[in-house]
Amino acid sequence: MPQELKYLSIIESGLNPRAVSRASAVGLWQFMSFTGRYFGLHHDGYIDERMDPEKSTEAACKYLKQLHTIFGNWELALAAYNSGPGTVKRAVRRSGYKRTFWEIYRYLPRETRSYVPQFVAIIYAMNYAEEHNLGDLALEEVMPHDTIAFRQYVHLETFASLTGTCVEELHQLNPSLRRNAIPQTEKPFVLKMPIAAKDRLALNREGILDSSSRVGKKEVEMLVSNTP
């Protein structure tokens, strides 16, 4: 796949993993509910994997590759990513079965007509940033972290307090978490946590996990059940 496709997330979400559109598309790659589930992104009242940068990027790659297989053209694949493959297929039929973006341009929705040119502009801007005095852009560093897998319920505020971190840092590292809790599940949830917190957890793992599993479970369950 072309490396430049990574810039598509700038157009989709402005690189905000928690972005939610007016149409309820979610995450870096703006997956709708059905499409997200189709590509393996689970979401419920506790966790929304569409907001997981790694999992959603992998799903987006699979989707884009599938669209390229359907249309045989990356520009048409991008148009289909924006408006859906059915919309692009209709535009192809209405154009007399033309096979390039510019040949079916007039038959596409207005937003999709500007979508591919935006992508071209983003590629140009990223490749020629210095020539346009855009070279001194600040980079956001991800804090050093490690992982731990949970199957049990964990109250994040309690867990953060006992490991010497804060719940805001845990949410920053784990944007797919919708609540201040990890639910009890059969499939483990892999939590990213600051290195120092992981070291502190190792000193009293059993006690910290026991305490974190006893706080607020009923309240969180009630909150989730009452949320659309």
Q: Which two tokens stand for residue 226?
A: 């009452």
Listed in sequence order, the DSSP H helices in 72-194 are 74-83, 85-94, 101-104, 110-127, 156-162, 167-173
Mutual angle of helices 53-71 and 85-94, in 10-degree steps: 20
Catalytic residue set = 12
Judge whether 107 and 79 are in contact, CB under 8 Å: no
Q: Which two tokens stand for residue 55?
A: 């999992």
139: buried, middle or exposed (CB in 10 Å: 19+, 13-18, 0-12)?
Answer: exposed
Q: Of 125, 67, 17, 104, whose CA–CA distance to 112 is shortest?
A: 104
The rounded Cα 140 to chain-centroid distance in angstroms is: 17
Rounded to whole angstroms, how far apart are CA atoms 167 and 50?
20
Rounded to whole angstroms, how far apart are CA atoms 71 and 152?
44
Rounded to whole angstroms, how far apart are CA atoms 36 and 28?
12
